Amino acid sequence: MRIILSILFSAFLLAGPSLAEEKKETVKDAKDERIKLSYSLGYNSGNNFRKSRVDFDLEIFMKAFKEGFNGEKASLTDQEMREVLLTFRKNIAAMQAERKKEAVEKHRPAAEKNKQGDDVLHKEPDVSKQQEQK
């Protein structure tokens, strides 16, 4: 559900690129908290999408977001959307499980050394933060 909300919120700013560009100059100094909230939700959602590497069509996403926001008839039925999103969630869960498994295997040697109790904490360098900064 968090992913779906992220998708919706990220689209808020992307829905009007020219409007977002005009407001970009004034977001920091905006008196209206709604502008800052809109920017924050959009930026955080976009950043989260970038990090998660979700593969989707931004143009179709924006079209669907606008249709949903404006209360227009959806191109897919509710059932079709539920099925697609359920499959998406299952795929994300499988990817996360695989990443967790890889991390456990990667750090297993250090964990085994730590079990030996030589009063020295053995740990692998955290390269994930370095990769996120790129």
pTM score, whole prediction: 0.52
Domain that residue 110 falls in = 76-116
11 shares its domain with 28: yes
48 shares its domain with 34: yes
Cα gap 117→113, rounded to integer Å: 8
25 shares its domain with 55: yes
37 shares its domain with 97: no
47 shares its domain with 91: no
In a domain, 134, yes or no: no
How do the pLDDT tens digits run along the chain, 134 residues long?
455 545 555 555 455 554 455 555 578 888 888 888 988 988 998 888 888 778 888 899 889 988 998 999 999 999 999 999 999 899 889 988 988 998 888 887 777 776 776 666 656 666 666 556 65
For 73, which DSSP code?
Answer: P
Q: How many structural domains is the chain composed of?
A: 2
Angle, CA of 29, 34 and 17, to the nearest 5°: 80
CA separation (Å) from 29 to 9, 14, 15, 35, 36? 21, 20, 22, 10, 9
